Amino acid sequence: MTLIALQGGKPVRTSLLPYASQLIDDADIEKVIDVLRSPLITTGAMVQKFEAAIARYVGVEHAVALSSGTAALHAAMFAIGIQSGDEVIVPAITFVASANCIVYQGGRPVFADVDADTLLINPDSVERLITTKTRAIIAVDYAGQACDYESLRRIARHYHLHLISDASHALGGSYKNGRIGSLADLTTFSFHPVKSITTGEGGMVTTRNALFAKYIKQFRHHGINATSAQREKQGSWDYDMQFLGFNYRITDFQCALGLQQLTKLPQWLDRRHSIAAYYNRSFSNLKCVTPLAVLEEDRRTHAYHLYVIKFAMQQLDCTRHELFSAFRAEGIGVNVHYKPVYLHSYYRDALTVKPGHCPTAEHVYNNMMSLPLFPGMAQQDVEDVVSVVKKITKYYAIT
């Protein structure tokens, strides 16, 4: 049996392959430089152009760019009026920002369990958690796959709730006849470097609701009713802070990068699909490895931000921590997405939620890992990942 690197064997790779990475080329850099040489590098025309491009891409009337995906989520909670005493249902498996945005507005996140096969929010769990204090549902398109929006919309309509989509993983994905970004009352995106496209840091809210868009534009600018560029155009110095907002503005040079990256999104999505398909074929006969399910019904198109596998730990003579260390020792930068949010120290102290609240989420969390998947991966990188999965699981397999 081949000795794994963690036990002194030769690693498959001599350099670490990250689980994700941005892809920046000379054309991207030139677009940014052009804006840096222009008179206006923030709150200018490039922001509006990027917003318009994203709105067209997802098929809605309005898009508002912000400084991060977290800012976009916070703005969405503000727009729908979340305040002290309100409850918002959010999946247990997500990045902490999906819940934090509720707390920023004084609300209380209520954690729903997920589907074991997809890690998408479970509509049945959502409906069981609704109370007279519930104001909204945040659906997270985990790993890049659309949630069951038909069921979630039905629940939201029946109980008069807002439906928010946290699509930070899912730009380019679709559900039935609509692109992700057009399926909820408000949809938020992230443009962090590991996402489908990047602006360095940045986010976006998309919506069909003009009033929501107006509130969010003002919210990102301290609650002030006119930007400096707008005042300059009007020949006025006067402005009015009409409510408490934040400085969540994004720069023009970030938006120039985003615009240029958006032109490459189709080919990058194709590459993500190609890598995922190779993984699927390679792991199809491994008894102790199961990729997340890809739902064929409802004409979903997966954006493949993440490629997550579940290990049958009862068939392996190791802990998940040992598995993680073994992958890293071989040069494969695996990651884990995510610890159930209510298990973080802050939420364990702030809420009465205890371990066992979402049993499916907790079970899968203890058995899952994210493999590298990003458009810049060479075919040899992909093959190295497969080689390491097979090498490690064979080494630890209980015979």
375 shares a domain with 275:
yes
Percent of the chain with pLDDT strictly greater than 90: 94
> How much is the average pLDDT of 305-330?
98
274 shares a domain with 257:
no
115 shares a domain with 168:
yes
pLDDT given for residue 227 in this prediction: 82
270 shares a domain with 218:
no
Range of the domain at 59: 26-262
* Average pLDDT value for the chain: 97
pLDDT given for residue 49 in this prediction: 98
| Token duo for residue 312 | 């049958």
- For the domain that residue 290 is a member of, what is the CATH number? 3.90.1150.10
269 shares a domain with 252:
no
pLDDT given for residue 296 in this prediction: 81
pLDDT digits (tens, 9 = 90+) for 97-108: 999 999 999 999
279 shares a domain with 234:
no
Asked which of 233, 262, 291 is the last residue of a domain, the reply is: 262
- For the domain that residue 97 is a member of, what is the CATH number? 3.40.640.10
Distance CA 327, CA 308 (A): 14
86 shares a domain with 208:
yes
pLDDT given for residue 305 in this prediction: 98
For the cut 90, the answer to whether the pLDDT of residue 352 exceeds it is no
100 shares a domain with 11:
no
pLDDT digits (tens, 9 = 90+) for 207-238: 999 999 999 999 999 999 988 777 777 888 89
* Number of structural domains found in the chain: 2
Check 195, 217, 310, 391 and give the catalytic one. Answer: 195
233 shares a domain with 309:
no
Contact 180, 187 (CB under 8 A): yes
Distance CA 293, CA 352 (A): 32
Is 310 a catalytic site residue? no
pLDDT given for residue 375 in this prediction: 98
Distance CA 395, CA 318 (A): 10
232 shares a domain with 158:
yes
pLDDT digits (tens, 9 = 90+) for 146-205: 999 999 999 999 999 999 999 999 999 999 989 999 999 999 999 999 999 999 999 999
144 shares a domain with 56:
yes
Distance CA 293, CA 308 (A): 10
Asked which of 198, 229, 262 is the last residue of a domain, the reply is: 262
Task: Burial-class residue 289 by CB neighbours within 10 Å (0-12, 13-18, 19+).
Answer: buried
165 shares a domain with 277:
no
User: With bands split at pLDDT 50, 70 and 90, how would you rate the model's confidence at 399?
Assistant: confident
pLDDT given for residue 235 in this prediction: 83
Asked which of 209, 238, 262 is the last residue of a domain, the reply is: 262
